[in-house]
Amino acid sequence: MKTVHLIRHAKSSWNHPGLSDIERPLNNRGREACAIMAPQILDAGCNFDTIHCSIATRAQNTIEGLAAALPDRSITWSSESKLYTFSSQDLFDYCLDLDNGLTSIVLVGHNPAMTGFANGMGDQSIDNLPTCGYVQIELPTESWKEITPETGTTKTILTPKMFR
């Protein structure tokens, strides 16, 4: 069994028009959402052990905010340029190349890739994974190379609005 934990980056700021898309940081609401969501994601069964994060500033700020809200855990992550994508197919392809020694992976990234991946792999449809939203999907396979669409079980869907 493999498990994918999807975390969409928190709400980003548009207050700096000179910044490129990849450079946009979180706004106050995004930082607050990280503090709200971190314990909820942990309680849902995400151990934050193997985290791969988009190189975008807003995604990096999201995992930093989640880690700061869980000071008793030592949370580290790798930054992955391949996760700066808006394509669910790119996320699927990324997962196909994961090391089989990993049973669980946390991906921090962007929409529409996150929503598309959740809908394509899990058994519950969502219209839109909101910013700082979380989805946990179990995949019935022992090999990442053998994952197939529409075979997973969506175990958890969490959004910041659920806890405000």
Give per-residue pLDDT as tens, 85-123. 999 999 999 999 999 999 999 999 999 999 999 999 999
The β-bridge relationship of strands 78-80 and 51-54 is parallel
CB 100 within 8 A of CB 141: no
Give the chain's mean pLDDT: 97
Options 3.90.850.10, 3.40.50.720, 3.40.640.10, 3.40.50.1240; which CATH number does 2-163 get?
Answer: 3.40.50.1240
What are the pLDDT digits (tens) for 46-70?
999 999 999 999 999 999 999 999 9
CA distance 92 to 117: 7
- Residues belonging to the chain: 164
pLDDT value of position 43: 97
Mean pLDDT of 121-150: 97
3-class state of residue 8 by DSSP: strand
- Whether the full predicted model's pTM is greater than 0.85, yes or no, is yes
Tell how far CA 160 is from the center of its chain.
14
Exposure string (b/e) for 54-70, b if CB count within 10 Å is 16 or more? bebbbbbbbbbbbbebb
Contacts of 85 (CB under 8 A, 6+ apart): 54, 91, 109, 110, 113
Place of tokens 């985290």: 51
CB 138 within 8 A of CB 123: no
